[in-house]
Structure formats: C-alpha cells, structure tokens
Chains A and B, each alone.
Chain A
Amino acid sequence: MVKQITSWLSVGLISAAALTACDTQTSEQQQASETEEINPRGEILALSCASCHGTDGKSVGIMPGFYGKSASYLKSALMEFKNDERYSTVMGRHAKGYTDEEIELIAEYFGGLSQQNSK
C-alpha cells in the first residue's frame, strides 16, 4: 500500500512536471504566482467549511457565517469545539477530525481572506 501511495504521488508530480515543461506562462503570470499568499494546504482544508457555512464563510442559512472574523477568534472557537468546551450539534464531530495545526491553517485562511479583500 505504501507503494500505491507513492505511485499516486508520483502521478501527481509527473503531471505537474509535464505541464511545467510545456508551460506557456507569461512573465506576468510567473510574477503573480511568486506573490501568491494563500497556503494551498490551508485552502484545501478550508474549502470544506463553505458547504455548511456558505462560500468564503458568508452564510445565507441559520449556520453562523464567519467571514470577517479574525484568525485568532476562529482558532479559539474551533479548538473549543474540538475539546467539547463549546456546545454544538455537529461542529464538535467535525473539529475532532483536524489536528491543532490544521485548525490553525483553516483559521488563518478565513482570517486572511477577509483581510485581503478589505485592503
């Protein structure tokens, strides 16, 4: 199975390398990617949240929206859910699925999102 995961990873890498080799990026595009601020790991973790809390955390339903909340607020709220220190129906079950480091990445992603847009 370790072999299997290595082959999945290498398929990803080969595709990426192949694309880089025949890349047609302009210099502006290269410049743009150099200044990229979004952590891809944080992004992929955070995209899950939008299904129940709205795109970018802008909720249109009864679930609380968290767009505009700071990273430190989000981190402490998620840690409380994880440690059963804050009442929830389902959030505790979700928060337990993430390491403390992942919770920090999620909090930073959403905290950074609203900060970036307000610049």
Chain B
Amino acid sequence: MSQKFTRREFSKLVIAGAAGSTLGVFGGVRPAFANQKHVVVIGGGFGGASAAKYIRKLDSSISVTLVEPATTFYTCPFSNWVMGGLKEMKDIAQTYDVLKSAYGIEVVHDEAVEIDAANHSVKLKGGGELKYDRLVVSPGIDFNYDAVEGYSEELANTVMPHAYKAGPQTELLTKQIQEMKDGDNVIICPPGNPFRCPPGPYERTSLIAHYLKENKPNSKVIVLDSKEKFSKQGLFTKGWGRLYGDVIDWRAASKGGKVLSVDAETMTVNTSAGPVKGGVINVIPPQRAGKIAFAAGLTNETGWCPVNPITFESTIHPGIHVIGDACIAGAMPKSGFAASSQGKVTAASIVRLLQGKVPAPPSLVNTCYSLVGPGYGISVAAVYKLTSDGIVKIKDSGGLTPMDADDDQLSEEATYARGWYNNIAQDIWG
C-alpha cells in the first residue's frame, strides 16, 4: 500500500489534526497554524460565497474567512418573482449555515471598511482586523443617486424604492404595488449601460404586468428607459404582446423615455417629453462598484475595477482579487451567474497560486433566465474565454431562446428557470 496521500486526503488530515483551531481567527488577526494560508473574502453574495466555498472545496488546507454584514442574504435573482406574487421573501433567502458547518468557512457578520493592501489586512466596522495571504473583494454595486435629480437614498428607502438590491426595498415595492389604486400606473425607470442584471428591469416589467392584469386590470406599467434598446428585447417585446396586450408601455430614451428628474411630492417623473405621473415609481439609478472598492482604491475612472482576466487579481493592488458586478470582465454581463463563475475561476486560481503553481486559463459561463409570465421563460447564455482581446464570448456559443420557440419550449424554459435557481443557490450557499 502506498504511503502517499492524495491532496484531498492530506487536506482532510490537516483539518482533522488541527481540530477547528485553525479555522478560528486567532486574536482577530491570524490563524493559529503558522504555515496555513489564509484567504479573506469580502461579500457573501453570488461571487464571494462561490469563491469562499470553492477555495475550501479545492484545497481544504487553506483557511477562509468570509466577511458579510447580513446573516440572511436575499438574492436579486427571483426578487422580481416576489413583486409578481409568484414567490415570497423566504424563497429568496440564503444563509451561511452550510458554508460554516460543511465547508469550515469562518463567517464574520461585519462590514469591511478599509483595506491596507501593503500590509495585507482588512479593517472591520466592528473594530476587528483580518490579515490575509490573498483577498477576494466581491462587493456588488453601489448607487449613484445624484445622477437622477430629485432622487436620494432616503427616497429610495421610503417612497421610490429602487429594489435593485434584494431586501427591505423588494418588500416595499411589492407592498406599494399591492396597495396601489386600480387605474394608477407603475413607472419603472431603468438606467443606462452598464448596470447589474441587464434583463432585470424587463423581467420586473413583465411580472408586475402579470400581477396588474390579474389584480388591477385598469393599471399599466410605463417603462421610461435611459436606453434605446435592451437585453432580450425581441423576445420580451413578443412575449409582452402575447401575454399583456397594451398593459406595458415601453418608451426608448429618444421617444420620451429619458428621465430628467423625479418629484416625490407629486409622484411625477419629468422626461424630455413632459411629466408622467405614477401610483408607484421604481427608479433604478446608475451604478458603480460597491463602496469598499472605492475606499480601497480598486476602481479606475469608469467607477469599476480593472482586473487581470486570468486570475481576477486587481491590476491596481496585487494580492487582491475583484469579482462580480464590481469588476470589469470584458464581454461578461454583470449577473449573479457571471459573478459565481468568476468566483470559481478565482478560487481555482488562488488555490494554484498559494500552492506555488501557475493558474489554468479561465473558462467562464453565463446563463440568465427571465420570466415573461409564470409559464413563459426565455434565456440568454454564453461561454467565455480569454483571448488577446481580453474575456470574449466564444463564437457559436450561447445566444438567445429562438424567436420562433413554441409554447412547449417557453414553458420548459420557465421550468428550467426554477431549476436553475435551486441548483445555483445550492452550488453557492448549500
């Protein structure tokens, strides 16, 4: 019998021998086991939780601390389904229990407020400090409220929710729609590119229209868009015509959609073509990388973070990997699926780097399902690779649900959308 261990077996032995002590953060600073490599991950969403889990899965000798303020994470994917009355908040709630118990990840419910790139340390709002060998930053987005005159963070929390980070604002917007008078209109104002989840505002439009059709037949959804075109436009437009008739009124930027300002007192959106009144107004402001990315100087003039596309390591601060919506990832959209894909590639790269090996070239994927109606699903997919032009979509890969898809296919896609949620949630938090 061979005396040699496989990497996996050896890792198990290391963990068993260390009996938990290596997983704690000794004195709030460093793992007790001096030789053990330590990775800190900031952000427990699609990107960060994927990176944390997969680092531990690929090499359990590396200790991982995940910093995330929330004990329950509400996913943006499927939050539109809550607004449409198809799901409840509990259905989009994810926790960190399995990452802690099955993967031995130290989860710190605190907020990272400062990164000292030179000294490899992260300062927490609660006063703690974490040292790292490598850091993963997956902070998602922050909102540029000032870009919309009359709008503010306070208004978003009280009167005109953006509901573009799932949580209390998802509930607020859902409640406002439910309590709205029949005959009043819901106004949705999507931002210009780039922004999180390109098909998101249009799935939202669809499912709110579904709710109104069933419950408030005299109301409409008016979309005042800052763009001339949008993701999966042909498929959405066809579906809207088939399912909702004239319930949805989408206006391109040049056709009166451009938002100039909002007025909460009179519940009015002022556009280039004049004022539009709404019973409910959902303003989705322009976005930039999450706060900590700015605080740590990881962003460039675009407001997003440039990275090495092989490892997602920041090209500004070595040793810090930026993933998800916050990073500039070539042709990849800012989606939960893309963030998770980047999280896994980064996990594999970090494991190789900490083992003193060269990372494998990246292979990345995105699949975004949108629901046009409860039994009417559409999707866009792509496989990405690294070329001399950065991360590009592989020719012939991916694409959209065919425009001539029959009802059976559209129904299957709706079913697969539900299956997608179950599996990606399990793959990240389960």
Contacts and interface: CB of A to CB of B under 8 A. Distances in A.
Q: Do A and B come from one complex?
A: yes
B379 A44 contact: no
A37 B309 contact: no
Interface residues of A, number: 54
Given A9-B310, A51-B367, A93-B381, A62 B341 contact: no
B398 A94 contact: yes
A33 B7 contact: yes
Main secondary structure of the interface of B (DSSP, over half): mixed
Contact of A61 (B35, B310, B364, B420): B420
B386 interface: yes
Contact of A47 (B345, B386, B398): B345
B218 interface: no
A24 B6 CA distance: 19
Contacts of A31: 4-5, 10
A68 interface: no
Contact of A90 (B357, B359, B363, B381): B381
B393 to A, nearest CB: 8
A97 B356 contact: no
Contacts of A16: 352-353, 356-359
B305 to A, nearest CB: 15
Interface in B196-252: none
Nearest to A55: B427
Nearest to B57: A55
Interface residues of B, number: 71
Interface in B47-63: 54, 57-58, 61
Nearest to A119: B6
A62 B36 CA distance: 39
A26 interface: yes
Interface stretch (B104-112, B152-160, B268-276, B409-417): B409-417
Contacts of A35: 4-7
Contacts of B365: 48, 51, 94, 97
B418 interface: yes
A59 B426 CA distance: 9
9 closest A-B pairs by beta carbon, nearest first, are A97-B383, A97-B397, A61-B419, A61-B422, A62-B419, A20-B356, A32-B10, A48-B365, A40-B360
Given A23-B356, A51-B365, 11 more contacts: A5-B387, A29-B61, A36-B7, A38-B7, A43-B348, A44-B345, A51-B367, A53-B423, A94-B381, A97-B382, A116-B8
